[in-house]
């Protein structure tokens, strides 16, 4: 008769341990990818977390690691030039991310939308088409790309599509593109943080899970930075895009 309560007490402890292990592995891997490629932490983290939790829950865990690891990428000598060109995209992204209503009651399956975004991003990365030159139309096209990215971010907590292809279409040099990605991802992360807080999940931003996710991501980032010189960049990125397609399909096929 004494075993019943013991089992009920043991199960939450095991669930907490499993959660800690899962979060630690996901964010360590996501941080390592960020260290190797300079991007991909939110995409890797949310695509893996999406296999067992809702995108809204993943968003609360993502804010800290994404913000901290992107701030360093914002530094560079192109800041003023990028602000002048990209503010319409950033403004549209932030406004739409924050103000888009909760889509859970609309019949839209967030996991399937996440899966579709991941598959599209993975296939685009494998195909590597030459994007149209939007360098002379950064204002209008940026506002459109920013608004579309805001919708995707609000629903999935992933902000790579269509933001990354848009930035690539501006024909920026490598250093400017890296800085533009860092600044854009920082804006997206801050907007996502405001959305999470407005949704009443502010406590999740300060939870032990969020702190553990940040620590794991920083550890993975340090490891990935060390591995950067040892791995073939193009080959690793191709493998990563294949993984995104696989994770996207897993989310598409996931039982609701």
User: What pLDDT, in 10s, does the model give residues 65-116?
Assistant: 888 888 877 878 888 999 999 999 999 999 999 999 876 666 677 778 888 8
**Contacts with 89 (C-beta within 8 Å, 6 or more apart), sequence order:** 138, 142, 143, 145, 146, 149, 163, 166, 184
**Mean local confidence (pLDDT), 140-155:** 93
Total domains, the chain: 1
The H or E element spanning position 40 is: none
**Mean local confidence (pLDDT), 23-39:** 87
Phi and psi of 101, rounded to 5°?
-65, 160
* Per-residue pLDDT, 69: 82
- C-alpha to C-alpha distance for 48 and 39, rounded to whole angstroms: 16
* Per-residue pLDDT, 1: 46
Q: Is 69 exposed, middle or buried (0-12, 13-18, 19+ CB in 10 A)?
A: buried
pTM across the whole model: 0.80
Residues 40-69 pLDDT 10s: 788 888 888 877 887 778 888 888 888 888
**Contacts with 219 (C-beta within 8 Å, 6 or more apart), sequence order:** 28, 31
Please calculate the CA angle 174-187-170 and round it to the nearest 5 degrees. 35
Q: How confident is residue 157, by pLDDT bands cut at 50, 70 and 90? A: confident
Cβ–Cβ under 8 Å, residues 114 and 158: yes
Residues 208-232 pLDDT 10s: 888 899 999 999 988 888 887 777 6
- C-alpha to C-alpha distance for 128 and 200, rounded to whole angstroms: 40
Q: How confident is residue 205, by pLDDT bands cut at 50, 70 and 90? A: low
User: Helices in 72-201 by DSSP H: which ranges?
Assistant: 79-99, 110-127, 138-156, 163-168, 174-198
Residues 175-193 pLDDT 10s: 888 889 889 999 999 999 8
Cβ–Cβ under 8 Å, residues 216 and 19: no
- Note down the domain range covering 147: 3-253
* Per-residue pLDDT, 181: 87
User: Angle between the 41-49 and 3-37 helix axes, to the nearest 10 degrees?
Assistant: 150
Neighbours of 115 (CB within 10 A): 23
Neighbours of 107 (CB within 10 A): 6
- Average pLDDT over the chain reads 82
* Per-residue pLDDT, 97: 95
């Amino acid at each position: 008769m004494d075993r019943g309560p013991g089992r009920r007490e043991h199960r939450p402890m095991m669930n907490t341990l499993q959660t800690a292990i899962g979060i630690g592995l996901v964010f360590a891997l996501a941080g390592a990818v960020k260290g190797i490629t300079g991007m991909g932490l939110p995409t890797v983290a949310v695509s893996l977390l999406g296999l067992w939790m809702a995108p809204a829950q993943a968003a609360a865990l993502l804010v800290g690691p994404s913000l901290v690891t992107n701030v360093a990428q914002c530094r560079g000598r192109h800041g003023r030039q990028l602000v002048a060109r990209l503010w319409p995209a950033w403004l549209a992204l932030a406004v739409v991310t924050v103000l888009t209503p909760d889509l859970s009651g609309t019949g839209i399956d967030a996991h399937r939308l996440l899966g579709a975004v991941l598959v599209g991003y993975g296939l685009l990365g494998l195909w590597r088409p030459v994007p149209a030159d939007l360098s002379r139309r950064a204002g209008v096209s940026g506002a459109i790309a920013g608004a579309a990215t805001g919708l995707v971010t609000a629903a999935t907590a992933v902000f790579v599509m269509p933001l990354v292809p848009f930035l690539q279409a501006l024909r920026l040099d490598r250093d400017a593109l890296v800085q533009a990605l860092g600044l854009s991802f920082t804006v997206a992360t801050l907007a996502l943080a405001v959305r999470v807080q407005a949704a009443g999940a502010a406590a999740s931003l300060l939870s032990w899970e969020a702190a553990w996710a940040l620590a794991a991501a920083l550890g993975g980032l340090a490891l990935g930075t060390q591995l950067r010189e040892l791995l073939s960049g193009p080959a690793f990125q191709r493998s990563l895009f294949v993984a995104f397609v696989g994770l996207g399909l897993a989310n598409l096929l996931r039982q609701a």
